[in-house]
Amino acid sequence: MSEADSRARHVAIIMDGNGRWAKRRHLPRAMGHRQGVEAVRRLVRSLEGTGIECLTLYAFSSENWKRSEDEVDDLMDLMRKFIKSDLPEFIANDVKLHILGDWRALAPDIVAMLEDALEKTSGGSRTIAVALNYGGQAEIVHAARAAAAQGEITQESIEANLFSAGLPPLDLLIRTSGEVRLSNFLLWQAAYAEMLFVDTLWPDFTPEHLQQALDDFTNRERRFGGR
């Protein structure tokens, strides 16, 4: 396989461990999430030169509504601030925003900000895909229903109706903080993805950790079921 073939084009991350990061420092959980946003920012800024065409981030799952009202409010506020402060940088850096999940069910002001951001970044060449109010099982149900309404249910017709339609195939899925499970993230897309579980808590994850993950990926042999 050539160097280009063995490069990860699409990387997804389950950003876990914000709460534990804060707890270890006797800080409120909100501080962990705030540092988590800093980690996102560092990574987005470091993408150039990595070969990554799409970075997908699990920011809010459909199960996250079960958290306390205060924590959900904190996360939504961080989202508002992040879009407001970082949208100009996305545009300047040729980054295109993509969203996966039932994001239109979020607060109307966030939906409006996201619509604006999608429009303003639509010309970008590198994609940041953010999973918001996302659940993998619900995504597959939604895609299968849409496929059935259009005609035959096939692997291709389901794939064409997933939130990830149009993104490159998922190459590498990383989860931080030592937990080893998918938590309903990209269940369909992960069929042939390489998985990497690292102990680092999300707020401590740096571009160097990402580069290590990419090097690790390049050294793996992917057979897609063949020999």
Catalytic annotation, residues:
16, 64
List of residues contacting ligand FPP (CB under 6 A):
15-20, 33, 36-37, 40, 57, 59, 64, 78-79, 82, 130, 177, 202
Dist CA 147 CA 141 (whole Å): 10
Least distance between ligand FPP and beta carbon 158 (Å): 27
Q: Please say whether the dihedral angle defined by the alpha carbons of residues 155, 156, 157 and 160, taken in this order, is positive or negative.
A: positive
The residue of the chain with the least Cβ separation from ligand FPP equals 19
Looking at the Cβ atoms of 159 and 204, the one nearer to ligand FPP is 204
Burial of 38 (0-12, 13-18, 19+ CB in 10 A): exposed
Decide whether 127 or 177 has the Cβ nearer to ligand FPP.
177
Put the strands of the sheet holding 54-61 in their side by side order. 95-100, 126-134, 54-61, 10-14, 172-175, 194-197
- Distance, in Å, from the CA atom of 173 to the CA atom of 193, rounded to the nearest integer, reads 6
Q: What share of the chain is helix, strand, coil (3-state, %, to 5)?
A: 45, 15, 35
Beta carbon nearer to ligand FPP, 78 or 117? 78
Q: In angstroms, give the least distance from the CB of 217 to ligand FPP.
A: 22
Least gap, CB of 78 to ligand FPP (angstroms) = 5
Token couple for 222: 């992917």
CB of 39 to ligand FPP, least distance (A): 7
Three-state SS at 157:
helix
Residue 61 or 161 with smaller CB distance to ligand FPP: 61
